[in-house]
């Protein structure tokens, strides 16, 4: 029986290796995507605009401030004076991006104790608890990705509609996509991918652990056959 328990432990460790690799990959992508979403929220380059009247200057519009950038390297930013005076799209983008960051951070904190490399929650049906934490963290990551993609896509849609508005004269400058929008798209997509990887890793570990009891039953049957054969001899 001691030999069987050792073999089962070794088999469980070897079968958990793919799940551990997926977990580490998912957490690395998760943390990187969350930092990318944080950078997208802070950066003022959500929309950018340059005019032919002042070619040496360009304007950046962000969630928290507007900036004037000069070609000589100078930059001057100013925060919004009033929260109530903000356009509705900026208010919505602020709320959703802050919510995405909160949900993403909560998902990271929940998923970390569920990793196989973290020695926690191993008593009182610890495997099931760790699996539940991992799946919950992955689901929160996918929710954070959706919450990040919604405001970025909405701001981009509004900019496209204004850019191709035929009612606006051609001489009037128009807002175009800034670097923060592309950063937000990348963050939302990677958050969803990271959550999917983490959920998949927990499912893989659950499936791979089923063959171990079968091997134990096979080993027990072989021992019984050997005992019967020795008694017959």
What's the rounded Cα separation, in Å, for the pair 7 and 209? Answer: 13
Alpha carbon dihedral 197, 200, 206, 207, in 10-degree steps, equals -130
Does position 44 have pLDDT exceeding 60, yes or no?
Answer: yes
pLDDT at 35: 96
Min mean pLDDT across 18-27, 52-61, 182-191 is at 52-61
Q: Please, which residues bridge with residue 79 across strands? A: 65
Query: Which of the residue ranges 39-48, 123-132, 169-178 has the most confident prediction, judged by mean pLDDT?
Result: 39-48
pLDDT at 51: 72
Q: Cβ distance 131 to 114 under 8 Å? A: yes
The enclosing H or E element of 77 equals: strand 75-79
Tokens at 89, concatenated? 């799209």
For residues 115 and 11, which has the higher predicted lDDT (pLDDT)?
A: 115
pLDDT at 80: 86
The predicted-structure confidence for 198-207, as pLDDT tens digits, reads as follows 988 877 655 4
Min mean pLDDT across 44-48, 92-96, 129-133 is at 129-133
The predicted-structure confidence for 98-144, as pLDDT tens digits, reads as follows 999 999 999 999 998 888 777 755 554 567 788 888 899 999 999 99
Over range 18-33, report the average pLDDT: 87
Strand residue runs (E) in the chain: 47-50, 57-61, 65-70, 75-79, 176-177
Q: How confident is the model at residue 209 (pLDDT cuts 50, 70, 90)?
A: very low
- Secondary structure (DSSP) of 10-37: HHHHHHHHHHHHHHHHHHHHHHHHHHHH
Q: How confident is the model at residue 39 (pLDDT cuts 50, 70, 90)?
A: very high
For residues 139 and 87, which has the higher predicted lDDT (pLDDT)?
A: 139
Average pLDDT, the chain: 78
Over range 178-191, report the average pLDDT: 94
pLDDT at 217: 47
Over range 213-228, report the average pLDDT: 49
Over range 52-56, report the average pLDDT: 69
Task: Give the relative orientation of helices 2-42 and 126-163 as an angle to the nearest 10 degrees.
Answer: 20
């Amino acid at each position: 029986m001691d030999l069987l328990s050792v073999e089962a432990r070794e088999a469980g460790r070897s079968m958990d290796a793919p799940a551990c690799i997926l977990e580490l990959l998912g957490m690395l992508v998760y943390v990187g995507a969350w930092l990318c979403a944080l950078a997208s929220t802070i950066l003022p380059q959500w929309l950018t605009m340059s005019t032919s009247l002042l070619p040496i200057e360009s304007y950046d519009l962000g969630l928290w401030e507007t900036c004037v950038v000069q070609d000589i390297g100078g930059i001057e930013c100013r925060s919004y004076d009033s929260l109530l005076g903000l356009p509705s799209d900026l208010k919505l983008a602020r709320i959703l991006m802050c919510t995405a960051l909160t949900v993403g951070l909560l998902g990271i904190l929940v998923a970390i104790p569920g990793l196989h490399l973290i020695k926690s929650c191993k008593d009182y049906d610890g495997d099931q608890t760790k699996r539940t934490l991992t799946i919950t963290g992955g689901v929160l990551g996918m929710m954070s990705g959706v919450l990040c993609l919604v405001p970025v896509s909405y701001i981009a849609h509004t900019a496209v509609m204004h850019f191709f508005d035929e009612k606006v004269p051609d001489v009037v400058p128009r807002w175009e996509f800034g670097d923060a929008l592309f950063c937000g798209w990348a963050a939302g997509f990677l958050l969803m991918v990271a959550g999917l990887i983490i959920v998949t890793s927990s499912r893989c570990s659950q499936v791979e652990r089923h063959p171990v009891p079968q091997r134990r039953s096979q080993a027990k049957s072989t021992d019984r056959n050997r005992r019967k054969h020795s008694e017959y001899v």
